[in-house]
Amino acid sequence: MNYKNIGYALLLLALLVAPFAGAYPVFIMKLMCFALFASAFNLLLGYTGLLSFGHAAFLGGAAYVAGHAIKVWQLTPEVGLLLGTLGAAGMGWVFGVLAIRRQGIYFAMITLALAQMVFFLCLQAPMTGGEDGLQGVPRGKLFGLLSLQDDLTMYYVALAIVVAAFLLIVRIIHSPFGQVLKAIKENEPRSISLGYDTQRFKLLAFVLSAALAGLAGSLKTLVLGFATLSDVHWTASGQVVLMTLVGGMGTLSGPILGSALVIVLENKIGEMGGWLAKLSGVQWFSSLGESVTIVTGLIFVVCVLAFRRGVMGELIAWLGNRKKS
Amino acid sequence: MEIFGKSLPALLSQLLLGLVNGSFYAILSLGLAVIFGLLNVINFAHGALFMLGAVLTWMGMNYLGLGYWWMLFLAPLTVGLFGVVIERTMLRWLYKLDHLYGLLLTLGLTLLIEGLLRSIYGVSGLNYDTPELLEGASNLGFMMLPNYRVWVVVASITVCMATWFVIEKTRLGAYLRAGTENPRLVEAFGINVPLMVTLTYGFGVALAAFAGVLAAPVIQVSPLMGQNLIIVVFAVVVIGGMGSILGSILTGLGLGIVEGFTKVFYPEASSTVVFVIMVIVLLTRPAGLFGKEK
C-alpha cells in the first residue's frame, strides 16, 4: 500500500469514529459538505482548467431548491437532495452554454456575473425568504422510513453520500473522459486537432461540477435546516477558490484538506486573535474574529505569490522528489 | 407631459442618474481594459481601489481638512502610487503564469483592503458634502438639474476622452498599443516596457480612484461600495469587449442609461438588467459588441 491509500483509509476511519471521539457531528457534516463542494469545483479548475467564479450559485441555488422541496412541498429528504442536484445541474448547463462561448479570463467574469444575477434573483424572489433565508427546513425521514432527526443517523447518511460522491469524482477523473479533460487543460488546440469536440467536454465537465456542488448545497440545507443568502453571495465562490488553492488544485485530496483548513480557520479565528492579543499585547488582534476577510485576503495573496501548488501539491512534489533520489 | 405613463421630469432625472452610473462604469471598464491590454491581468481590486479613492477623500477632508478639489487630485495620485507598489512587488511575478493567478491575487488584495477598512470604519456609510461650487440645482424649466451630477458626467467623459486621445493619437499611446501587441519586440526597440507596464497599472487604478472621488457625494461611501460595482463592471466589459477604448466608454454610458430607465419602468429588474443584456449579447455576438474574436 502506498501513502495515498493509507491516507484515505485513515481519513475514512477517523470520520467513522469521530462522533464517538467527542467531535460535534454537525460541524463535521458542515466540513464534509464544503469538502464535497471544493472537490466538485476542483473537477473544473484543477482537471479541466476552467476557473468558474460562479459556483456559489450552484451551492446556494441548490440549497434553496432542496429546502423548498422539503419544507413547502413536504417531499422526503432524498427527493429533496435529488431535486437540488438536478436544479444545480440545469443551472450549470445554462451557465456553461453561455460562458463557454468565451475563453480564458472572460469565462471567469461571465460565471461571476451570472452568479450575481442568481444572487439578486434569490434576494428578490418570494420563495427564498429574502434577507432571512429559508429557515426551519425539517430533516424528515429518509425514504419515508429512517428518521434523520438524530444527529448521529444524519451523520452517517451524510458521510455515505459524501464518500459516494467523492468516489464518483475519482472515477470521473480516471475515466477516458477525465483524461480528455486533462488534455484540454494542458493544450486545448491540440485536443481539438486530435478530433475531440472540446466544447462538449467542457460543458459536460461544467454540468457535472455544478451538479456535485448542488449536491453539497442540498446536503448542507438538510443538515443545518436552513438555506441562506450568504451561500449564493460571490464571496462563497471566492471561498471555494481559496479552499482549492490552499489545498492544492489538480490534486484529489487537496480540496478536502483546503476546505477543512479554511472552515476551521473561519470558525476559530476569533480565539486565535484573542490568544495573539494576549501574547503580543496588541489589542487589535482581539478584533480579528470580526475581520475574517483580512486573513482570507492575506492567505490568497501569499498562496498566489509563493505557494501555488498548495499543501497537497507541495507534499506530492516532495514525495515524488524523494522517490527519485 | 408624460411618456409611456411616466412624467417627463422623473424620466429625465433617472436618465441623468443613469448617466452618472454609466460614467462610473465607463471609467472603471476603461481602466480594466487598459490594464488587461498590457498586463494580461483582470484587476479584481478595481472596485476596492475605487472605494479607496472615496474613503481617502473622506479621510483627507476629515483628518487633514483638505478640500474636495485637493482630494480630487491627491486621492488618485495616492492610489496610483499604491498601484505602482502593488505592481512592482506582487503582480510582476505573475505575468508568465496563467491569467487566473492575476485575478486571484487581486481578489486577495480586494479582501485585504476591504477587510482592513471595514475593521476601522465598519460597514455604515461615511458621508461628505458636495463641494460648495457645485451645490444646488439649475432650473431648466421642465426639470431641476442637480449641478453635481452634471459635473460627474462631464468630468468623467472628459477624462475618458482624454485617455482615448492619449492612447490612440499620441506617441506614448502608440508605444502602449505596440506593447499590447508584442511587448518583446517593443522592448527590442529600446523602450522600457516594464516601466511602461508599472505606470499603466498605476494610471489604471488612479482612474478608478478618480471615479471613487466623484462618486462619493452621490453614493454612500462605505468599505463595501466597490463590491457589487466591480461585478457589474465585469459584465460591462464582457458586453463591450476589451478590444476598443471608445467601445468601453460607449458601452459603459449606454448600460448606465438602460439601467436608469429600467428603474423607472420595472424597478425590480434594475439590479439584473445589465446581466440579462450580457446573456443576450453572449448569445448573439459572443465576442462582445466591440470585441474581435481571436
Chain B positions touching A45 (Cβ under 8 A) are 100
The b/e string for B215-242 (b: 16+ C-beta within 10 A; e otherwise) is bbbebebbbbbbbebbbbbbbbbbbbbb
Q: Which sign does the torsion angle of CA B48, A306, A233, B30 carry?
A: positive
Alpha helices in chain A (DSSP H): 3-17, 25-48, 55-71, 77-99, 104-124, 151-174, 176-186, 188-193, 198-224, 234-247, 254-280, 292-306, 310-324
Specify the higher pLDDT residue, A281 or B256. Answer: B256
Q: pLDDT at residue A122 above 80?
A: yes
Best residue of B42, B49, B107 to probe chain A, by most A CBs closer than 10 Å: B107
List pLDDT tens digits, range A70-118: 888 888 888 999 999 999 999 999 999 999 988 878 899 899 999 999 9
Residue A279 has pLDDT above 60, yes or no: yes
Nearest CA in chain B to A295: B112
Would you call B107 and A300 a contact, using CB atoms and an 8 Å cutoff?
Answer: yes
Check CB contact under 8 Å for B279 and A98. Answer: yes
CA distance A325 to chain B (A): 28
Q: Return the ∠ at Cα B20 (arms to B19 and B26), rounded to 5°.
A: 80
- Contacting A residues, span 107-146, partner chain B, CB-CB under 8 Å: 108-110, 112-114, 116-117, 120-121, 124
Residue A284: band (very low, low, confident or very high) from pLDDT cuts 50, 70, 90:
low
In contact, B30 and B38? CB cutoff 8 Å: no
Closest among B163, B215, B286 to B47, alpha carbons compared: B215
Query: Of A136 and A87, which is predicted with more confidence?
Result: A87
The ipTM is: 0.87
Q: Report the C-alpha gap between A33 and A224 in whole angstroms.
A: 11
* Total residue length of chain B: 294
Which of B104, B271, B283 is closest, CB to CB, to A241?
B104
Beta-bridge mates of residue A142: A146
- A-B interface: how many C-beta pairs under 8 angstroms? 120
B108, A105: Cβ pair inside 8 Å? no
Of B140 and A230, more confident: A230
Cα angle A133, B234, B224 (rounded to 5 degrees) comes to 50
What's the confidence (pLDDT) of residue B294? 47
pLDDT score for A287: 67
- Taking a contact as any Cβ pair under 8 Å apart, which residues of chain A between 243 and 302 contact chain B? 245, 287, 290-301
Q: What percent of chain A has pLDDT over 90?
A: 49
Q: What is the 8-class DSSP label of residue B129?
A: P
The label of the residue with cell 476557473 reads: A51
What is the mean pLDDT of the segment spanning A130-142? 80
Q: Please give the pLDDT value at position A325.
A: 64
* B228 neighbourhood in chain A, CB within 8 Å: 116
C-alpha cell at A34: 464544503
Q: Which of B100, B104, B271 sits opposite A120 (nearest CB)?
A: B271
Which of the residues in chain B have pLDDT under 50? 294
Give me the pLDDT at residue A276, please.
77
Check CB contact under 8 Å for B238 and A51. Answer: no
